Amino acid sequence: MPDPVPTPTPAAAPPAATAPVKPVPPKPAAKTESRRGFLLEWITTAWIAFIASMTAMFLGTLRFLFPNVLSEPPTTFRAGDISSYEENKVSDQFKEVGAWVIRGRNESMQPIIYALSTTCTHLGCTPNWLESDRKFKCPCHGSGFMISGVNFEGPAPRPLERYAIRKTDDNQIVVDKSRKFQRELGQWRTRIHTYRCSKE
């Protein structure tokens, strides 16, 4: 028998060219980190703003513990020589410091010197002395006071207050505004709020 004819085997195909390997894209971790950093920045900024506002509020509150004026005006002042005051005359010389110093007479008609407060006993306005009417008249609500300080018209509920007064060795009048005397409490009966000047 004849030998079988070998069948030709097909030639092997050349190997296909391999495609280049694409690089793996980076994980989105970098994006997450930028979000985290952004959020951290905002939280830090918010805390700084909060601390700054709390500090400013604390300092503002602390400022109220210290007044603008550290010293008060003196409560006593020299009102001059006794002989410089005419009887039944009101001078506005000491109105700016809150007092009228008047030489007049008491209920027993003895000559005295006394100091009246310039504060109306109604709502705290400052009355004016009207020489022609011989009275103190409050411009706010019309209260009227006699030269002695006794109220006689308007809504003022009580007389003007008097201050303590004394004479120094050199014949000067000293008014002490820290000591006030009210007529309705019977305090005008004391000698501290007047100086009897019958010998002057």
pLDDT tens for the chain, residues 1 to 200: 556 666 666 555 556 556 666 666 666 554 556 777 778 888 999 999 999 999 999 988 888 887 776 566 678 888 888 888 888 888 788 888 888 888 887 777 888 888 888 888 888 888 988 888 888 898 888 899 988 888 888 888 888 888 888 888 888 888 888 888 887 777 666 665 565 554 44
Kindly report, residue by residue over 97-114, the tens digit of the pLDDT: 888 888 887 777 888 888
pTM: 0.58
Q: What is d(CA 172, CA 103) in angstroms, rounded to the nearest whole number?
A: 14
Q: What is d(CA 93, CA 100) in angstroms, rounded to the nearest whole number?
A: 8
- The helix or strand, by DSSP H or E, that contains position 2, with its residue range, turns out to be none
Q: What is d(CA 134, CA 150) in angstroms, rounded to the nearest whole number?
A: 13
Q: If DSSP codes are grouped into helix, strand and coil, which group holds residue 22? A: coil
Q: What is d(CA 49, CA 72) in angstroms, rounded to the nearest whole number?
A: 39
* Integer CA distances (angstroms), 200 to 3, 91, 113, 168, 193, in order: 175, 19, 11, 14, 18
Kindly report, residue by residue over 22-48, the tens digit of the pLDDT: 666 666 554 556 777 778 888 999 999
> Given this model, what pLDDT does residue 8 score?
60
Q: Facing residues of 81 across strands?
A: 172
* Contact indicator for 190, 162 with CB cutoff of 8 Å: no
> Given this model, what pLDDT does residue 183 score?
79
